[in-house]
Amino acid sequence: MITLHHLRIGRSLFTAWLLEEVEVDYQLKVYLRNPETMRAPPELKEVHPLGKSPIIEDDGLMLTESGAITSYVLSKFDTAHKLHPNQDDLAVLIRSGVDHPVIAPFSNAEIKLHFDHISTQLGNNDYILGNEFTGADFGIAYVVSMAERLGQLDGYPKLKTYVQRCMSRPAFQRAIERAVE
Ligand SMILES: N[C@@H](CCC(=O)N[C@@H](CS)C(=O)NCC(=O)O)C(=O)O
């Protein structure tokens, strides 16, 4: 059975969602952040030297990096290709919550560039590759939801609706029930 090493609060919730979508059995190991430093506890470094979540273990294989985990899980369990029809078209986003005199002008322009692109790509579709939910939505929904939390989605009402649509999926709700206390 797959084990998901899940750090609260962080992006591994989106890996739990992925596992729920493909309806695979998994065991959840939950780690809580140090409330003062907000860093992962040392136990996560006992699993993998980087001490970052998500980490999955499956059949003797240990895998880190959300994108790599998504590819692995989809190629192994989405054999009907419901969530990864052909090639992925994942966009990469840079985000910054801190105003920095040098970085902020760069990152603000980059954020606009990428969100405009995601918004255009979404168009009037329900999901990022069309009206069907696919594996690409795990990555896009993560960055768009982070942007929403950082108050970066003003002027992008379609992206707000998109996040709500993703988060109302039954599998996302199941992931919340299991992976968020
Ligand atoms: N590139 C990695 C990033 C992993 C990562 O930085 N995870 C954060 C949680 S969102 C973490 O574990 N932070 C704990 C720490 O650095 O102490 C991925 O996409 O999986």
Per-residue pLDDT, 90? 39
Q: Is 69 in the pocket of ligand 1 (CB under 6 A)?
A: no
Position 94, amino acid: I
Q: Is 39 in the pocket of ligand 1 (CB under 6 A)?
A: yes
Mutation probe of ligand 1 site: the residue of 30, 36, 39, 52 with most atoms within 8 A of C-beta: 52
Q: Is 145 in the pocket of ligand 1 (CB under 6 A)?
A: no
Q: Is 144 in the pocket of ligand 1 (CB under 6 A)?
A: no
> Which residues lie across from 55 on neighbouring strands?
5, 64
Å from CA of 82 to ligand 1 middle: 28
Residue 98 CA, distance from chain mean position: 21
**Is the backbone peptide bond immediately before 42 cis, with ω within 30 degrees of 0?**
no
CB 29 within 8 Å of CB 54: no
pLDDT beneath 70, residues of the chain: 85-99, 102-103
Q: How far apart are CA 142 and CA 44, in angstroms?
A: 22
Per-residue pLDDT, 85? 63
Per-residue pLDDT, 36? 94
CB 142 within 8 Å of CB 126: no
Per-residue pLDDT, 112? 87
